Structure 1
Amino acid sequence: MKKRASCGIVALLMALVLFGVMTMKIQNENLKRRLRNRIDGLPRGVVQSTSDMELKRLWASSSQKYLQDISGNYTALLAMAVGISQKQNVDILVRKFLIDNCSIILFHYDGNVDGWRDLEWSDKAIHILAHNQTKWWFAKRFLHPDVVSTYDYIFLWDEDLGVENFHLGRYLQIMASEGLEISQPALDPDQSSDIHHRITVRDRKAKVHRRVYDFRGSLNCSDESRGPPCTGWVEGMAPVFSRAAWRCVWHLIQNDLIHGWGLDMKLGYCAQGDRTKKVGVIDTEYIIHQGIPSLGGASINKAPSKSLDLRTHIRRQSTAELEKFNKRWNQAVREDKEWSKHFEGYARKKG
């Protein structure tokens, strides 16, 4: 009887020891995991995971305020790829945004930064130079979501847009009140020289529109349409993204496909919900698309015929990138079963 009791005690002690060892092992693994999450063991309170595009003074100044709210509510960043040939238009555009304390970052694709220094706002903007690169190339490398997370809205615009009838503060008030995560200003049909899709055309009777009705040719845009080009879609020339939408869009931008062709058809997946409701075109704050080919276009040192040849090469490259992007997307959809299950009906119901 005593022997059995001793065996029971030994077994209990062994179980307790084993339990203690397993507990210590689990605690050790949890500690390692927490340390890994703390960026190689940094104490949590010192980690700064976000940044912004605000220029800082070399000395303290109580009179200087950074990241001022637009109309007391929102902060925004305007990012554009620019060339010196569009200096006059960019000047007008930037001045319009600076009225509402918007942060400005200019991506110079033609190598000319000094040519902008005579503009009074030049020192207030951030200038980044890389020869012959597109705004998507720049955005992927310099607008990481953690860097721009301070801003409520990101404007990734082309340089050939007219903003005479555009007011930034009112635009963002509408975008927020309408619950839009992705938007663009409508295009003035009377003055815009380059309109590709009817959904971008201004509706004079509306404040915002989210779909277009079109039954021409192969199009069948109706109330049943669930995707581009009928609804849930904006064009790549003047998109505006909420903070959450931009975090998704940044990951959608392909590192090696710099022209961004095909991205606009997929932006709706980043709308943080139903793209037919979360993506829209704002009509009351509209712009003019001048349709001026700049990147790869004519310059002082290039003859017009040479410029046209460059534009042809760029278009061919863009088309090739579109094909590659679509193949990559389709393969990703096939391989990601969970995504396909979640978006099955969403992906099938196109315009």
Structure 2
Amino acid sequence: MKTSNRLSLLADSKSRRSCLCYLPTASLLCIVFFIGSMFVTTDFKERFTRWRMVDNVLITEPITCENQCRPQGSEALPKGIVVRTSNLELRPLWGSPKKRNSKSMSLLTIAVGVRQKENVDKMVKKFPSSDFVVMLFHYDGLVDEWRDLEWSPRAVHISAIDQTKWWFAKRFLHPDIVSEYDYIFLWDEDLGVENFNPRRYLSIVKQERLEISQPALDVAKSEVHHQITARGRRSRVHRRTYKVGGGNGCDANSTAPPCTGWVEMMAPVFSRASWRCTWYMIQNDLIHGWGLDFQLGYCAQGDRTKNIGVVDAEYIVHQGLPTLGGLEENTTTAEAPGQASPTKLSPNMEAQAPSHSHVNADRFAVRKRSYVELDIFKKRWKKAVQEDECWIDPFQQTEKQ
């Protein structure tokens, strides 16, 4: 009996020692588990809170500070994947793309018809491919006829029948698409560039800080519609014209277009900032652009009498060809003074060309529509000014003085 009790006590003693031996280990494990669970719980709470906050923001709050900096519609995407802008760079279908040009680039856009192919070829060759991207707006739909030109494969070709350069510009030159280009040339096809150097021109524009500009016109060979576009032989740049007499006299005190702060719409050149403003002013349904020239000063990024100018040192010839709606009969068969001869049409092109009996009627209809659109634009501008109570006309005060 005593022996049994001793054995029992001995077993109890061993089991107690065993428990005592495991107790520190168990305690340590308990402490580690407790501390770890605290971190896990805290991290879970933080994640849950963050997810819940994002969910709340998306559902109950209109815009957060973070989303104000994002393009509309990109809120559901992770910020790093959002690409805000694009460009007109052609990309290869296979192989590694060429290293991108790190130089500043500008954009030359021209509304073209194949009848002026020869002249356009001369124009494009004046613009170095290392400095300019070329984009052609084909208003006659004859794109394949340009394939034989050396520079054609690197140009961007867009075709739409009987549309103007303003129609094309509104749809394909969105500011976010052309944001990489320092300057945008929005030119007509009937310009002579024998005495024009694009690099020197942009050098002058930058030195003179011109936001909107155009090359001056050679008065001996050009069709000049406004005196301010005529070339001055003694100046590098001029920003105003002086015309005495009549109801439209211009003098040193003139502050409004077309005496100052004005360029014609045949060969305008826009800075990146001025184009962003101008693009918004182009009306989607008014394709002739009449009336825009008198309002471009609002996009000049400041004083239009200083930031808009005509460059005399680099000048062009305005041939004045009425290409939209077809050429007039006397310009389809012979070369007019100061004009390039029209490109000879292939049999396929001849079949698509309008007959002479319809040319004059078409030209009259085009001109009539231009005046109608001018009147519509003026009325829209006036209405917009009246309805926008927050807008202040920066030029109203100067024009009253």
1:110: which partner in 2? Answer: 140
Matching of residue 95 in structure 1 with residue 133 in structure 2: no
- Report the secondary structure of 1:184's partner residue: strand
Distance 1:321-1:30 versus aligned 2 partners, 3 A rule:
closer
Identity between Structure 1 and Structure 2 (%): 56
**TM-score of the two chains, using structure 1 as the length reference:** 0.86
How far 1:75 sits from its partner (Å)? 1.5
How far 1:282 sits from its partner (Å)? 0.4
Distance 1:99-1:166 versus aligned 2 partners, 3 A rule:
farther
Distance 1:31-1:316 versus aligned 2 partners, 3 A rule:
closer
- Report the secondary structure of 1:97's partner residue: coil
User: Which moved further from structure 2: 100-109 or 130-139?
Assistant: 100-109
Native 8 Å contact 2:324 2:366 kept in 1: no
| Matching residue within 354, 372, 376 for 1:324 | 376
Matching of residue 282 in structure 1 with residue 311 in structure 2: yes
Q: Which amino acid aligns with 2:240?
A: R
Native 8 Å contact 2:282 2:289 kept in 1: yes
Structure 2: which 5+ residue stretches go unaligned?
Answer: 1-52, 333-349
Q: Which amino acid aligns with 1:344?
A: Q
| Matching residue within 173, 183, 192 for 2:213 | 183
| Matching residue within 242, 247, 268 for 2:297 | 268
| Matching residue within 305, 308, 312 for 2:364 | 312
Rounded Cα–Cα distance in structure 2 between residues aligned with 1:213 and 1:56: 50
1:136: which partner in 2? Answer: 166
Native 8 Å contact 1:35 1:42 kept in 2: no
Native 8 Å contact 1:100 1:168 kept in 2: no
1:14: which partner in 2? Answer: none
- Report the secondary structure of 1:80's partner residue: strand
| Matching residue within 60, 81, 86 for 1:46 | 81
User: Which moved further from structure 2: 181-190 or 338-347?
Assistant: 338-347
- RMSD value, Cα: 2.1
- Report the secondary structure of 2:256's partner residue: coil
Rounded Cα–Cα distance in structure 2 between residues aligned with 1:54 and 1:202: 35
How far 1:303 sits from its partner (Å)? 2.6
Rounded Cα–Cα distance in structure 1 between residues aligned with 2:368 and 2:358: 16
**TM-score of the two chains, using structure 2 as the length reference:** 0.76
2:198: which partner in 1? Answer: 168
Rounded Cα–Cα distance in structure 2 between residues aligned with 1:26 and 1:144: 31
2:388: which partner in 1? Answer: 336
Rounded Cα–Cα distance in structure 1 between residues aligned with 2:255 and 2:395: 12
Higher Rg of the two aligned structures: 2
Rounded Cα–Cα distance in structure 2 between residues aligned with 1:347 and 1:249: 22
1:302: which partner in 2? Answer: 354
- Report the secondary structure of 2:392's partner residue: helix
How far 1:100 sits from its partner (Å)? 4.9
Rounded Cα–Cα distance in structure 1 between residues aligned with 2:141 and 2:398: 43
The count of aligned residue pairs is 320
Q: What whole-Å deviation, never above 9, does each CA across 1:185-222 have from its counterpart, x for those lacking one?
A: 00000111x11001000001000000000113212211
Q: Which amino acid aligns with 1:302?
A: P
Q: How does 1:211-230 map to 2 (within 5 A)?
A: 211-230=240-259
Rounded Cα–Cα distance in structure 1 between residues aligned with 2:279 and 2:150: 31
Q: Which amino acid aligns with 1:250?
A: W
Rounded Cα–Cα distance in structure 2 between residues aligned with 1:136 and 1:348: 32
Rounded Cα–Cα distance in structure 1 between residues aligned with 2:291 and 2:63: 44
Rounded Cα–Cα distance in structure 1 between residues aligned with 2:113 and 2:393: 44
How far 1:113 sits from its partner (Å)? 0.4
- Report the secondary structure of 1:166's partner residue: coil
Question: After TM superposition, what 4+ stretches of structure 1 lie above 6 angstroms from structure 2?
Answer: 24-28
Native 8 Å contact 1:180 1:277 kept in 2: yes
